[in-house]
């Protein structure tokens, strides 16, 4: 069956014009074959005597199938060796850029690592060029599950993170410090009276008074409430005050009490209790950890008089409180013993200046002289 075109795969024999014994010469039409395009004459390129018809009328055979045998003079030329099948070589695209030191992590891997909480640093990649792939992240997550970090490892990691943040803060933020002494007699007296009326479980700590006062005071100096990002001040509409809470084994977190300026003292107390408990059990939400718009470090219980703090970036202020201590104080020209508190403000000089910082401390003082209004 002759090939008549690359899209011809087979043909159907519809008519034989020869029979065994016939003499044929080169070019004689010997059969008619039906194809998808129509009936085509088949010629013989061999001369000789027809010996045998192999394909009957009506049969469809593929291209190359022998249709009939013709006995000719001499032998046909030997078939040449088959052509080697070439393997096409792909042209290489531009070799990808490899920047030394830049991690090669696929976007999908990066996203998944975030979801699973897998630390990408130190992962070896098995993708092209050593890139970290989804599979690599999965495997790391699996092995992390099998081998959860010890408390010591977790604490070590946390101390490292805190250290990095504090170093960065000291490096990048131009701190200025202001301090003031606040007469807490009214506040403490009010608190005592308040707490006597309440069951033990609902008693307020003076820290909550400080917290609320800070939240209200910062509304008057809004540039202290918010962030410094990419060279510009980004003050926040909301006041979420972060309370520094120390953890056993070292470590410090400052989860936010949201909308601290508009919550009651009771709400703040409940919120604070909840945060402390969850901080100590490690079940704080990530939004709580990052949402604080300014932070308070209260180290009175540790016996500290004055806190000179380091701002937790990217915030622009940190309010520090020491212990409330009875001390001599000049009241109307006479020396009396009063419960005094050292309040400090550490602030980012890019976002505010001493004048404004001073206004904040003044406001804070004033608020704490009217504790019933907090």
Partner 1 sequence: MTLSAVASSTSQTEHEVKLLREMLLIRYFEEKSAELYTQEKIRGFLHLYIGEEAVAVGAMQSLRPEDAVVSTYREHGHALARGLSADSIMAEMYGKLEGCSRGRGGSMHLFDARTRFYGGNAIVGGGLPLAVGLALADKMQARNQVTACFFGEGAVAEGEFHESINLAALWQLPVLFLCENNLYAMGTALARSESQTDIHLKAASYQVPSEAVDGMNVLAVEEATQRAAAAVRAGEGPYFLELRTYRFRAHSMFDPQLYRDKAEVEEWKKRCPIATLSQRLRQEGVLTDESLTRLEAEVWAEVDASVAFAEAGTWEPVEELTRFVYSERLAP
Partner 2 sequence: MNTIKTTYREAVREAIREAIRQDSRVFLMGEDVGRYGGCFAVSKGLLDELGPERIRDTPLSESAFVGAGIGAAMGGMRPIVEIMTVNFSLLALDQILNNAATILHMSGGQFNIPLVIRMATGGGRQLAAQHSHSLEGWYAHIPGIKVLAPATLEDARGMLWTALEDPDPVLIFENALLYNLEGELPADAGPVGIDKAKVLRSGTDVSLITYGGSLYKTLDAAERLAGEGISAEVLDLRTLRPLDTPAILASVAKTHRAVIVDEGWRSGSISAEISTRLMEGAFYELDAPVARVCSAEVPMPYPKHLEQAALPQAETIVQTVRQLVGGHG
CA distance 336 to 330: 6
3-state secondary structure of 53: strand
Whether the CB-CB separation of 208 and 268 falls below 8 Å is answered with yes
Question: Cβ of residue 313: shortest distance to partner 2, in angstroms?
Answer: 12
Compose the 218-237 pattern: x for residues touching partner 2 by CB under 8 A, - for all others. Answer: -----------xxx------
Nearest residue to 314 (alpha-carbon basis) of 335, 293, 342, 287: 293
Nearest residue to 105 (alpha-carbon basis) of 85, 81, 134, 82: 134
Nearer to partner 2, 100 or 199 (CB): 100
Compose the 86-125 pattern: x for residues touching partner 2 by CB under 8 A, - for all others. Answer: -------xxxxx-x--xxxxx-------------------
Question: Cβ of residue 96: shortest distance to partner 2, in angstroms?
Answer: 5
Whether the CB-CB separation of 210 and 296 falls below 8 Å is answered with yes
> Is there binding between residue 62 and partner 1 (CB under 8 A)?
no
CA distance 217 to 213: 6
CA distance 369 to 259: 22
CB-based contacts of 74: which residues, under 8 Å, 6+ apart? none
Q: Which does 6 bind (CB under 5 to 8 A by kind): partner 1, partner 2, none?
A: partner 1
Q: Which does 229 bind (CB under 5 to 8 A by kind): partner 1, partner 2, none?
A: partner 2
H runs (alpha helix) in 151-282: 151-172, 185-197, 206-220, 265-281
From the list 40-48, 124-132, 321-329, 339-347, the region that binds partner 1 by CB under 8 A is 40-48
Nearer to partner 1, 69 or 289 (CB): 69
> Is there binding between residue 250 and partner 1 (CB under 8 A)?
no
Positions touching partner 1 (CB under 8 A) are 2-8, 26-27, 35, 37-40, 43, 45, 63-64, 80, 83-84, 86-89, 91
Give residues in contact with partner 2 (CB under 8 A): 93-97, 99, 102-106, 129, 131, 229-231
């Amino acid at each position: 069956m002759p090939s008549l075109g690359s899209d011809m795969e087979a043909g159907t024999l519809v008519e034989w014009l020869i029979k065994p014994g016939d003499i044929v010469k080169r070019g004689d039409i010997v059969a008619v074959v039906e194809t998808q395009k129509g009936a085509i004459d088949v010629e013989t390129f061999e001369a000789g005597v027809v010996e045998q018809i192999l394909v009957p009328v009506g049969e469809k055979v593929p291209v190359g199938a022998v249709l009939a045998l013709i006995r000719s003079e001499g032998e046909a030329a030997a078939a040449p060796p088959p052509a080697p099948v070439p393997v096409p070589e792909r042209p290489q695209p531009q070799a990808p850029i490899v920047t030394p030191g830049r991690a090669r992590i696929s976007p999908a891997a990066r996203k998944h690592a975030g979801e699973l909480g897998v630390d990408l640093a130190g992962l070896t990649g098995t993708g092209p060029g050593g890139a970290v792939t989804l599979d690599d992240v999965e495997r790391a997550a699996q092995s992390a599950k099998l081998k959860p970090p010890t408390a010591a490892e977790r604490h070590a990691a946390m101390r490292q993170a805190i250290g990095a943040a504090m170093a960065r803060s000291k490096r990048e933020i131009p701190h200025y410090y202001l301090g003031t002494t606040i007469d807490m007699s009214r506040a403490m007296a009010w608190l005592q009276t308040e707490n006597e009326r309440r069951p033990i479980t609902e008693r307020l700590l003076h820290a909550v008074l400080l917290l609320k006062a800070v939240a209200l005071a910062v509304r008057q100096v809004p540039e202290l409430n918010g962030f410094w990002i990419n060279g510009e001040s980004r003050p926040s509409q909301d006041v979420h005050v972060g309370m520094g809470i120390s953890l056993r084994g070292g470590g410090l977190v400052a989860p936010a009490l949201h909308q601290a300026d508009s919550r009651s003292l009771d709400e703040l107390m409940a919120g604070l209790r909840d945060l402390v408990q969850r901080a100590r059990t490690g079940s704080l939400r990530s939004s709580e950890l990052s949402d604080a718009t300014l932070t308070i470090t209260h180290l009175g219980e540790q016996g500290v008089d004055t806190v000179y703090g380091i701002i937790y970036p990217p915030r622009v202020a940190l309010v520090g409180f020491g212990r409330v201590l009875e001390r001599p104080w000049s009241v109307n020209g006479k020396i009396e013993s009063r419960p005094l508190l050292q309040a400090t403000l550490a602030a980012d000089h890019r976002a505010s200046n001493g004048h404004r910082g001073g206004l904040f401390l003044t406001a804070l003082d004033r608020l704490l002289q009217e504790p019933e209004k907090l």
